[in-house]
């Protein structure tokens, strides 16, 4: 795997723009980014120059962020402390910026007891991306709930957390973060 896509996007550059700079096609850029084409020394030099990067930056492996275990999810959607199986090695190349995991303690929604749910945590200013969607919601008091995040803009508590299973919906005045579920891992 290489870092061409990440470096290009970090500069706000499209594949088409990089293709123009390299005098090649968008299809070739796509294949280079996905490692469908082997990177020769010539390609590395040309791409690094076009991106204003060192050639080593294109192929250096970036450290994967540590996955934080948040506990077990009860039937009412609230997380409680508990140990989780170590599944970090199963993620492979899943591109998560701030991964978190919980163990589903009771069947709810489409999740079965015993599954490990992996989610990508977003900062509070990006929680709008998860309005009316399933998420792990981190409240400012430190509690975590698996629920549907419903905006209530006219309320003193602008978020309604609707659980997937048993339990009452709860209101939240503010969220520290919200995490988009990415993967559920089920033991065989």
45-102 confidence digits (pLDDT tens)? 999 999 988 888 888 666 667 788 899 999 999 999 888 776 655 655 556 778 889 9
CATH class, 68-185 region: mainly beta
Whether the predicted pLDDT of 133 surpasses 70: yes
Q: State residue 129's pLDDT score.
A: 85
Distances (CA, A) of 181 to 40, 101, 111, 146, 157: 37, 9, 11, 10, 24
With beta carbons less than 8 A apart as the criterion, state whether 3 and 59 touch.
yes
Please provide the CATH number assigned to the domain covering 4-59. Answer: 1.10.260.40
36-47 confidence digits (pLDDT tens)? 888 888 898 999
* Domain extent listing, the chain: 4-59, 68-185
Residue 83 makes CB contacts below 8 A (sequence gap 6+) with 69
154-183 confidence digits (pLDDT tens)? 888 889 999 998 889 999 988 889 999 988
């Amino acid at each position: 795997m290489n870092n061409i896509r990440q470096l290009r996007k970090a500069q706000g550059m499209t594949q088409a723009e990089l293709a123009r700079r390299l005098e090649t096609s968008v299809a070739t850029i796509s294949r280079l980014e996905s490692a469908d084409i082997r990177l020769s020394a010539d390609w590395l030099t040309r791409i690094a120059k076009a991106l204003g990067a060192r050639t080593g930056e294109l192929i250096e492996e970036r450290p994967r962020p540590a996955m934080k275990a948040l506990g077990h999810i009860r039937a009412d959607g609230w997380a409680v402390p508990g140990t989780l199986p170590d599944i970090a090695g199963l993620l492979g190349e899943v591109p998560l910026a701030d991964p978190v995991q919980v163990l589903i303690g009771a069947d709810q929604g489409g999740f079965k007891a015993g599954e490990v749910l992996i989610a990508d945590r977003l900062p509070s200013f990006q929680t709008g991306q998860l309005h009316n969607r399933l998420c792990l919601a981190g409240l400012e008091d430190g509690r975590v709930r698996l629920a549907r995040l419903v905006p209530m803009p006219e309320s003193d508590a602008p978020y309604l957390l609707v659980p997937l299973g048993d339990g009452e919906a709860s209101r939240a005045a503010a969220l520290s973060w919200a995490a988009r579920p990415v993967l559920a891992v089920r033991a065989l």
